[in-house]
Amino acid sequence: MTDITRIKRCDHCLTVAPADAKFCLSCGNPFGYDRPPLAQQPFPAPPATRQVIHVHDAGPQTMNYGQISIIFGGLGVVAWCVPLFGFPVGILAIVFGTLGMKTAQNQALWGIVLGALCLTASAINAIIGAVMGASGQL
């Protein structure tokens, strides 16, 4: 049985501890430290309220395939000048436009149209370059 004279009570949380303890076993308060008891401490301020944003209200979080198709189609308008760049950019615009037809039809359609124009202009540029190169005009 524990001797009642060999215990002490924490001033902070009122838990009983052995007399030789340097810290409270419940709250960790050091004995002999002048901190007001738990009942006299002010309550902490409530946490700041957070604004909840619902997913359906937040708008699109990432680019869709239609937007990517328009970007490649726009690059293709410039890239057709060099058929080496025009062909892959036009193909990417058409591929992403095809993938985007389910979610963003208008954007995807514009990307496909720009990609097709890019491929057509690149092919014409390549044919003209090949003819001029074969005839020695370059």
50, part of any domain: no
Residue 21 pLDDT: 84
59, part of any domain: no
**Higher pLDDT residue, 71 or 53?**
71
Within this chain, do residues 119 and 69 fall inside the same structural domain, yes or no?
yes
Q: Which domain holds residue 6?
A: 1-38
Residue 34 pLDDT: 57
Report how far residue 61's alpha carbon sits from residue 73's, in angstroms, rounded to the nearest whole number: 22
pLDDT in tens, 28-59: 888 775 555 555 656 666 666 666 655 555 45
49, part of any domain: no
Q: What is the pTM of this model?
A: 0.52
52, part of any domain: no
**Higher pLDDT residue, 128 or 41?**
128
Q: Which two tokens stand for residue 131?
A: 């003819």
Q: Which of 29, 30, 96, 34 has its CA nearest to residue 66?
A: 96
Q: How many structural domains compose the chain?
A: 2
CB 66 within 8 A of CB 42: no
Within this chain, do residues 76 and 16 fall inside the same structural domain, yes or no?
no
